[in-house]
């Protein structure tokens, strides 16, 4: 028997033949698309002024309600299950959120969850976290700063998705967590990418803004130096780029890995990498470069992450310059990477991109409201307590009367009205008195309770004064920030170096073989002359009029040079940085080549490939003092071109020399009153500090000063100078012939 067709049932044929109902695209977007967009932006992806996204906040609040701020750890599975009362998106996503907040994962500068077990690492995509049934968690003590005042009506509470419990709209964070906790979110049509800053600097910057609301971005940047990433590394500081981040919340921050060269094993240990990459990404790129023949400098590389932390080791071929290799890797791998800032934050459910200064201003507004609500809660509680005690004070006048009233009252419901009438008190006070235990109806108990009235009145007056004065509210917040900094502050993990002080790798640059000499003149010119050019041109070297050569050295292009200047700075360069010239040319002017300050002059040049323990720099000063500093004090592993504070600025520099302790120098020291001494450099004190002012070498008459110090002096003096065996020593009269380049 055939089935009867339902009159309301449409066949596919009917549906195809049915006319299409037109609908405006704007109406579709408004009714169907926009609610989804707003839901993702507001309820999922973009953090709010407390620094948390909804998933973070729901998880942390549920752990707080479970007593995990003060209690012991519990299985992660318990927390995940309980959190589903607030966040019904599935156990996997909740656990992933938890992992990122744990101490074990190392994603945060200040972890919010104290964890036990394997939670993976932020710097490795292959290190997976263990299942929730194996790991244990509790709230870190640092979270007390997030929940301060939450039980005192500091923030609004709303029902959860099934109206069975309440949850906070925001957490009343006692510090600007929004700038301390890194956060990334991708919504629909917008995204947020917030880097972390150092807690100490953020607290100091916020306190400065509380005290001076007109604080400028420039002043704030003096306090909050730059972001501080959990993975460490080195920020290449660009003032213009950093200012844009502070002003607009948008910009790029370049981060370099930090490494150490192991001379004994001829390998590079990379100890910190940018927050934006992982060891797997780096190793995959290195492997590709090795296969393509673009990285012949290394023989092996391996992941050596262990309980001590991150380590990526590169084994080098013999003769490879580790710093030059790292320059190459910085330019071609994510060992140097950029963090793209996009400080998009929800303010009253409206997404807004803000700079660091504006974020702190918004947080201060938010925190003031939290403090006012918290203080209002305390005020109401204390006023109610005071009201009860004032009623209790009235029965102190006649305790026996109160007992008689209660005893003679026939009905229980008449006790409170009779007490109200008998002592002229209100119902709340009468209820309180009626509930007092019989054992407490004695003079001593009542007097002790009434003694609290004065303290309560003082506390109420103090709270009322704070609520009435915004300056006091800001001072209250500042005091809390001082305590938080003192208790939880940590030193910076990420170093800061000027972007203009590091070398940039040039892929097309190939260092050619070079054999020859470099000549350094008194006026600061350097000539790099090939050996064949020297053979053809002889010994004659063209120089500016009045200039002369102070040193000449055989070198190769791989050699490193150091230049000491009269501004107490040490500059580094490579021989390959200088152009080859002919003997008939005057060469390159070193201050201009290296970008020295205006008027700065190089007073010493030396080949410095190694930093042996028995070699020193010798400094002679205008006040007759001198000092030796071990060359090891000037060794650095980074590619910094300039070192400031190379020697003491207590007196103007007269001369600097390079000394090998095995062959001490004979140094003539000459003063402007025509006297001189000659001493061995070994008599000059050796100091471990670069800026040590040294000891007196030559005793000077009043008003006299040292004007020259020479090592090749025999042909330049008239008269005999006796070599001194100790210092300080008095000079002998001599005549110093005019010397081109000598100090006047």
pLDDT in tens, 558-573: 888 999 999 999 999 8
Q: What CATH class is the domain 610-744?
A: mainly beta
Length reported for the chain: 744
258-334: which CATH number, 3.30.1360.40, 3.40.50.300, 3.20.20.220, 3.40.190.10? 3.30.1360.40
Cβ atoms of 120 and 105 within 8 Å: the answer is yes
Asked if pLDDT for residue 536 goes beyond 70, the answer is no
52-172: which CATH number, 3.10.129.10, 3.90.199.10, 3.40.50.1970, 3.40.50.880? 3.90.199.10
**Burial label, 633 (beta-carbon count in 10 A; 0-12, 13-18, 19+):** middle
Structure confidence by residue, pLDDT tens digits, 201-254:
999 999 999 999 999 999 999 999 999 999 999 999 999 999 999 999 999 999
* pLDDT of res. 26: 76
Give the contacts of 225 (CB within 8 A, at least 6 positions apart): 198, 201, 492, 496
Give the contacts of 446 (CB within 8 A, at least 6 positions apart): 392, 393, 395, 396, 399, 440
CA distance 575 to 559: 6
Please state, in angstroms and as integers, the Cα–Cα distance from residue 737 to each residue in 276, 506, 716, following that order.
64, 48, 5
**Burial label, 640 (beta-carbon count in 10 A; 0-12, 13-18, 19+):** middle
Active site residues: 134
* Secondary structure class of 659 (helix, strand, coil): strand
Q: What would the two tokens of residue 578 be?
A: 């200088």
Write down the residue that tokens 């599975």 correspond to: 77
Structure confidence by residue, pLDDT tens digits, 579-635:
888 888 888 999 998 888 888 999 999 988 888 888 999 999 999 999 999 999 888
Please state, in angstroms and as integers, the Cα–Cα distance from residue 474 to each residue in 12, 213, 467, 481, 607, following that order.
69, 11, 11, 11, 58
CA distance 632 to 447: 76
Give the contacts of 6 (CB within 8 A, at least 6 positions apart): none
Q: What would the two tokens of residue 15 be?
A: 């549906």
Task: Name the more confident of 432 and 94.
Answer: 94
Please state whether beta strands 495-498 and 234-237 pair in parallel, antiparallel, or not at all (unpaired): parallel
* pLDDT of res. 85: 93
Q: What percent of the chain has pLDDT over 70?
A: 92
* Of residues 523, 537, 551, 515, the one with CA closest to residue 582: 537
CATH 3.40.50.150 fits 377-465, yes or no: no
Within this chain, domains 258-334 and 610-744 share the same CATH topology: no
* pLDDT of res. 410: 84
CA distance 481 to 470: 17
* pLDDT of res. 742: 39
* Secondary structure class of 663 (helix, strand, coil): strand
* Of residues 527, 657, 552, the one with CA closest to residue 603: 657
Question: For residue 508, what pLDDT band results from cuts at 50, 70 and 90?
Answer: very low
| Sheet of 298-303, strands arranged across | 258-262, 267-272, 312-316, 298-303
Write down the residue that tokens 């070398």 correspond to: 503
* Of residues 280, 465, 470, 437, the one with CA closest to residue 367: 470
Task: Name the more confident of 315 and 395.
Answer: 315
Strand partners, 736: 717
Question: For residue 42, what pLDDT band results from cuts at 50, 70 and 90?
Answer: low
CA distance 521 to 581: 15
Asked if pLDDT for residue 705 goes beyond 60, the answer is yes
Show the DSSP H helices in 103-213 as ranges: 177-180, 199-211
- Structural domain spans, the chain: 52-172, 258-334, 377-465, 510-604, 610-744
| Sheet of 588-589, strands arranged across | 549-555, 516-521, 525-530, 588-589
Give the contacts of 445 (CB within 8 A, at least 6 positions apart): none
Write down the residue that tokens 């101490």 correspond to: 103
DSSP 391: H
Terminal-to-terminal C-alpha distance of the chain: 125
Asked if pLDDT for residue 535 goes beyond 70, the answer is no
Give the contacts of 609 (CB within 8 A, at least 6 positions apart): 559, 560
Cβ atoms of 132 and 330 within 8 Å: the answer is no
Phi, psi of 660 (to 5 degrees): -105, 125
| Rounded (10°) angle between helices 239-248 and 356-396 | 50
424-456 core/surface letters (b: 16 or more CB in 10 A; e: else): ebeeebbbbbbeeeeeebeeeebeebeeeeeeb
Q: How many CA atoms lie within 13 A of 164 on its CB side?
A: 7
* pLDDT of res. 220: 96
* Secondary structure class of 221 (helix, strand, coil): helix
Structure confidence by residue, pLDDT tens digits, 439-464:
777 777 778 888 888 889 999 999 99
* pLDDT of res. 43: 62
Question: For residue 510, what pLDDT band results from cuts at 50, 70 and 90?
Answer: very low
* Of residues 45, 59, 57, the one with CA closest to residue 132: 59
Cβ atoms of 157 and 165 within 8 Å: the answer is no
Q: What is the 3-state secondary structure (H, E, C) of 506-571?
A: CCCCCCCCCCEEEEEECCCEEEEEEHHHHHHHCCCCCCCCCCCEEEEEEECCCCEEEEEECCCEEE
CA distance 281 to 283: 6
411 CB neighbour count, 10 Å cutoff: 8
């Amino acid at each position: 028997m055939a089935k009867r067709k339902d009159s309301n049932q449409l066949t596919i044929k009917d549906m195809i033949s049915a006319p299409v109902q037109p609908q405006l695209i704007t109406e579709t977007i408004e009714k169907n698309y926009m609610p989804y967009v707003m839901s993702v932006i507001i309820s999922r992806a973009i953090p709010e002024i407390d620094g948390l996204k909804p998933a973070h906040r729901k998880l942390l609040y549920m752990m707080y309600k479970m007593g995990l701020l003060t209690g012991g750890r519990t299985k992660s599975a318990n927390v995940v299950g309980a959190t589903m009362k607030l966040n019904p998106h599935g156990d996997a996503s909740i656990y992933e959120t938890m992992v990122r907040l744990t101490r074990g994962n190392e994603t945060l500068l200040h972890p919010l969850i104290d964890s036990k077990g394997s939670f993976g690492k932020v710097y490795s995509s292959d290190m997976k976290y263990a299942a929730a049934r194996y790991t244990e968690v509790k709230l870190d003590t640092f979270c007390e700063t997030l929940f301060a005042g939450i039980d005192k009506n500091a923030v609004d509470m709303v029902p959860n998705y099934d109206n069975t419990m309440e949850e906070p709209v925001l957490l009343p964070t006692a510090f600007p967590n929004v700038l301390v906790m890194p956060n990334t979110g991708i919504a629909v049509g917008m995204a947020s990418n917030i880097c972390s800053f150092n807690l100490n600097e953020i607290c100091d910057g916020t306190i400065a803004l509380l005290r001076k609301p007109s604080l400028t971005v420039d002043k704030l940047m003096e306090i909050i130096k730059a972001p501080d990433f959990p993975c460490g590394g080195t920020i290449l500081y660009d003032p213009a780029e950093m200012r844009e981040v502070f002003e607009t919340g948008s910009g790029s921050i370049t981060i370099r890995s930090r490494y150490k060269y192991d001379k004994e094993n001829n390998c590079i240990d990379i100890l910190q990498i940018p927050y934006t990459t992982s060891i797997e990404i780096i190793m995959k790129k290195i492997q590709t470069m090795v296969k393509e023949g673009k990285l012949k400098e290394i023989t092996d590389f391996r992941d050596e992450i262990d309980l001590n932390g991150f380590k990526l080791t590169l084994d080098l071929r013999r003769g490879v310059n580790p710093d030059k290799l790292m320059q190459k890797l910085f330019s071609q791998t994510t060992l140097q990477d950029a963090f793209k800032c996009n400080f998009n934050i929800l303010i009253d459910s409206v997404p807004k991109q803000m700079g660091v200064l504006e974020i702190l201003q918004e947080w201060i507004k938010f925190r003031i409201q939290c403090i006012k609500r918290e203080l209002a809660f305390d005020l109401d509680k204390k006023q109610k307590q005071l009201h009860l005690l004032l009623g209790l004070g009235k029965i102190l006048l006649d305790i026996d009367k109160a007992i008689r009233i209660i005893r003679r009252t026939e009905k229980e419901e008449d006790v409170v009205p009779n007490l109200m009438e008998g002592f002229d008190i209100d119902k709340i006070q009468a209820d309180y008195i009626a509930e007092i235990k019989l054992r407490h109806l004695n003079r001593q108990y009542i007097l002790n309770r009434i003694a609290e009235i004065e303290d309560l009145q003082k506390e109420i007056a103090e709270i009322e004064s704070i609520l009435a004065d915004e300056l006091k509210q800001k001072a209250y917040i500042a005091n809390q920030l001082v305590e938080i900094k003192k208790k939880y502050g940590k030193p910076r993990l990420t170093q800061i170096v000027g972007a203009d002080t590091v070398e940039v790798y040039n892929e097309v640059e190939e260092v050619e073989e070079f054999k020859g000499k470099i000549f350094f003149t008194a006026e600061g010119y350097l000539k790099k002359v090939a050996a064949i050019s020297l053979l053809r041109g002889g010994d004659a070297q063209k120089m500016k009029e009045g200039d002369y050569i102070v040193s000449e050295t055989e070198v190769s292009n791989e050699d490193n040079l150091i230049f000491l200047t009269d501004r107490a700075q040490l500059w580094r360069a490579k021989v390959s940085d200088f152009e080859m010239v002919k003997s008939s040319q005057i060469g390159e002017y070193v201050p201009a080549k290296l970008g020295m300050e205006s008027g700065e002059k190089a007073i010493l040049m030396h080949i410095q490939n190694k930093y042996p323990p028995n070699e020193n720099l010798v400094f002679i000063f205008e006040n007759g003092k001198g000092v030796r500093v071990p060359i090891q004090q000037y060794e650095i592993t980074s590619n910094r071109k300039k070192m400031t504070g190379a020697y003491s600025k207590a007196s103007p520099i007269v001369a600097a020399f390079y000394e090998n302790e095995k062959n001490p120098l004979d140094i003539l020291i000459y003063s402007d009153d025509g006297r001189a001494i000659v001493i061995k450099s070994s008599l000059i004190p050796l100091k471990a500090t670069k800026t040590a002012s040294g000891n007196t070498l030559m005793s000077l008459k009043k008003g006299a000063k040292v004007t020259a110090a020479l090592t090749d002096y025999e042909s330049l003096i008239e008269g005999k100078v006796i070599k001194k065996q100790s210092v300080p020593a008095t000079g002998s009269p001599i005549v110093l012939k005019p010397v081109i380049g000598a100090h006047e």
